[in-house]
Structure 1
Amino acid sequence: MGTHGVISTRKRNRRWEARTTVRTASGEYVRKYASGGSKTEAVNLLLERVQDAAPLTDLNRRSSIQSLGEQWRLNMLTKGLAPRTVDRYEWTLEKHINHYIGRLTIEELTTSRAQSFLVMLQDKHGAGVAKGARTVLLQMFTMAVQDDIVQRNPVQDTTLRRADRKEVESFTAEQIPTLRKNLNGDVLDVFDVMLGTGLRISEVLAIRWEDIDFSQNRLQVTGAVKRTKREGLHRGAPKSLGSMQWLYLPDFSMHPLRERERWCELVFPTSTGGLWEPTNFRKQWRKQLAGTAYASAHPHMVRSTVATILAQSEGTLAASKQLGHSSESITAKHYIARPDEAPNLSQILNRLL
């Protein structure tokens, strides 16, 4: 299927005609015809027309995994994935899959070889890299199954060791005043907005004046500052649809917003009015906290702090809604710090005896 028979040519009325028979993907035999000013032109035009009946892929079991990866990559680019997801997948494909196993043929990647590869990645590069590589390989070989290159997906039955869960880090209410004393200027203003909203750095740096409702002390999350390989530094959509919401701000967060000078559309621009890249914000953060008790603290801890404080006072559901998460479980697992001690329930237990 997808191939054509012998191409016949003839000259008729001062033009050349080319004909052949093609077997389509459905198995039907179809006559194809083209004409041109010369024999070569007619044949080339005919060959273009028979491409419609070509097989979905020219790969086979002896093709390399690198070739399969390239076919999968081109297919992935048509799926409408987020640009940062595309960047991450392409990096995983080139940096790890092609580097370590790209020269193997498709049929040579058995389940045991795939398992050994993933174990090596986890030992050498960490659980996150191994998980990403498994995701890409799984998609690549799912495509190979769909194209009848292989009968089953060898990655399907692979497993990864359970990674040690990292404790959620956050600031205590007592630490916040002393932390603020070590911050100044724009970094302090961004910190105060993050602390009053739980927003990501990228979302705060994307706030425009038109996003703020000063009459009701609230702002609308409409974008995030991102950098991708294809688009460079730009203002894109927030990480999730749940993030696109109105948030009411406490007075300490509204204060810097009211005091800042409005000289361009962004609330927190660079000195030239451009987008302030989150990476550069983190550099300023580390510079201001260097040599202090908070030198190892990272800005994302502010988001965890908001989640932890809200969960303790209003419950996990309230914290989840504030952070724009799709479920409480995400908030509880990744953003709420575990208390050092259990609540004092001794008086209730005293009733047992």
Structure 2
Amino acid sequence: MPPGTWGKISVTRTKTGTYQAEARYALFSGRVAKQRARAHSESAARTALIQKLQALKGSDVGDGELTPQRSIAELAAFWLKEKEVDNKVSANSLRAYRSVVNNQVLPAIGQRRIADCRTSVIDRVIKDRAATGADVTKLRNALHQMFGVAVRHDAIPANPVKEVARISRPRKEITYLDLEQVNQVRALIDTEMKRKRPGPRMSADLRDIVDLMLATGCRIGEAAGFIYPEIDLSSETPTLTVSGTIVTETGKGTFRQPWTKSDAGYRTLFLPPFAVDILMRRMIESPANRNGAVFTTRNGTWRQVSNWERLWNRVVDGTAYDWVTFHTFRKSVATLIDQTVDSKAAQAQLGHANEDITLEHYIHKAKVAPDLTDYLERFRPPITPKT
């Protein structure tokens, strides 16, 4: 007998006149034990035993097993615990997952049983959230992963999120910088570096990290975590390997996480000559540090991403380029590569696992119709003979 199942229910009358229902029940441990229930009638005894067996199935979970009777709150806790022991999940991702669970999942369906959450239920949860104008991408992703865990533990036969209708959203216009705009932004950085104001003057670090992001298409966290041991400037084709990112965690401080956002993010990039010049200069001029880091604080420690963002805001606030963020440089790189090579090359440079991500979120594409001029030329008006 599989765990959580029971055999044939038999009912007998006792000497005291009551009825006793009895059945063999398979425990999670594999042991089979008899379960009994009494009542004043045969049908009541049978009903009482069935209720007892169903309750037992929900509680006999040995070693944290998930069952159909468990609540979504329990499923969420189980899923989050799995995430906590997954070394590939960063502290920032964990915080985001907990936020979605606590603020979106639990208020909507936290007390429902896993077995009750059919596709129609999840469809409504997601659509109700979308009706508020909120982006439901993270909610859908969290629910999909949670119910994936439930499927793996045989708590449900299929993932109810898979068949939920996609919410169509108007596609956002992808903003990027062309070459002229890039140089105008560089001029803004140079102006800010020369500005006289109280406190220490802005160093060349911001200009350098922006130029290296333009040379590589890296995220700000990846660029802030560049290390010299993974940079080869002596070969005929200089390269840089992207293998980590800067994160800040409560209780741990700021450190370099030795993996990227995804497996596809771990990549080796060829460096253009202007990037080689920057790295050679920094290697010569910057004091050595224990991390072999390209960018550090004055104390030789890792600089927080939020610190870089504050510096950037000083440059663009109140200017025509206040819409530009570090991510804009990444989109600009993707767009340039797509225009000069193709989207597959842009995907590889950015370290995306899926080309669709690159196309949908990073590449600005003008809607160019095919060249049909040879056919359209047929509509040319006939030449009218001169009279």
The TM-score, its normalising length taken from structure 2, stands at 0.68
In the aligned structure 2, how far is the partner of 1:134 from the partner of 1:155? 7
Identical-pair percentage: 28
Letter in 1 for 2:261: K
Q: 1:248/1:61 Cα in 2 relative to 1: closer, same or farther (>3 Å)?
A: closer
1:194 maps to amino acid: M
- Structure 2: gaps (5+ residues): 5-24, 34-59, 191-203, 381-387
Q: Secondary structure at the match of 1:295?
A: coil
Alignment match, 2:317: 290
Helix, strand or coil: the match of 2:107? helix
Measure the CA separation in 2 of the matches of 1:302 and 1:213.
23
Which residue is 1:101 aligned to? 109
Matches within 5 A, 1:122-271: 122-124=130-132, 126-127=134-135, 130-144=136-150, 147=153, 149=155, 154-184=160-190, 185-216=204-235, 217-228=238-249, 232-236=253-257, 237-260=259-282, 261-263=285-287, 264=289, 265-271=292-298
- Judging changes above 3 Å, is the alpha-carbon distance between structure 1 residues 231 and 92 closer, same or farther for their aligned structure 2 residues? farther
CA distance in 1, matches of 2:30, 2:329: 61
In structure 2, what is the Cα distance between the partners aligned to 1:60 and 1:319? 45
The answer to whether the 8 Å contact 1:187/1:284 transfers is yes
Q: How many angstroms does 1:277 deviate by?
A: 1.9
Q: Following TM superposition, by how much is the alpha carbon of 1:220 offset from its aligned partner in structure 2, in angstroms?
A: 2.1
* Contact 1:72/1:143 (8 A) holds in 2: yes
Tell me which residue corresponds to 1:311: 338
Select the structure of larger CA radius of gyration. 2
Q: Output the amino acid matched with 1:206.
A: G
Please give the alpha-carbon distance, in whole angstroms, between the structure 1 residues aligned to 2:271 and 2:69: 60
The 1-side partners of 2:76 and 2:179 are apart by 49
Name the aligned partner's letter for residue 65 of structure 1.
I
The alignment yields a C-alpha RMSD, in angstroms, of: 3.4
Residue 310 to residue 109, structure 1, CA distance change in 2 (3 Å): closer
Aligned residue type for 1:243? G
Question: What is aligned with 2:89?
Answer: 82
Whether the aligned pair in 2 keeps the contact of 1:66 and 1:98 (CA below 8 Å) is yes
Residues 112 and 202 of structure 1, relative CA distance in 2, 3 Å threshold:
same
The answer for unaligned runs of 5 or more in structure 1 is: 3-21, 31-52
The secondary structure found in structure 1 opposite 2:171 is: coil
User: In the alignment, which residue of structure 1 is the partner of 2:198?
Assistant: none
Distance in 2 (alpha carbons) for counterparts of 1:120 and 1:257: 51
Q: CA deviation at 1:59?
A: 6.3
Deviations 1:153-188 (A, max 9, x none): 554543342122112211012211111100142111
Shift of 1:76: 4.0
Query: Could you tell me how far apart the structure 2 residues matched to 1:56 and 1:187 are?
Result: 52
Change (3 A) 1:215 1:110: closer
Amino acid of the structure 2 residue aligned with 1:248: F
Q: What is the one-letter code of the residue matched to 1:131?
A: T
TM-score normalized by the length of structure 1:
0.74
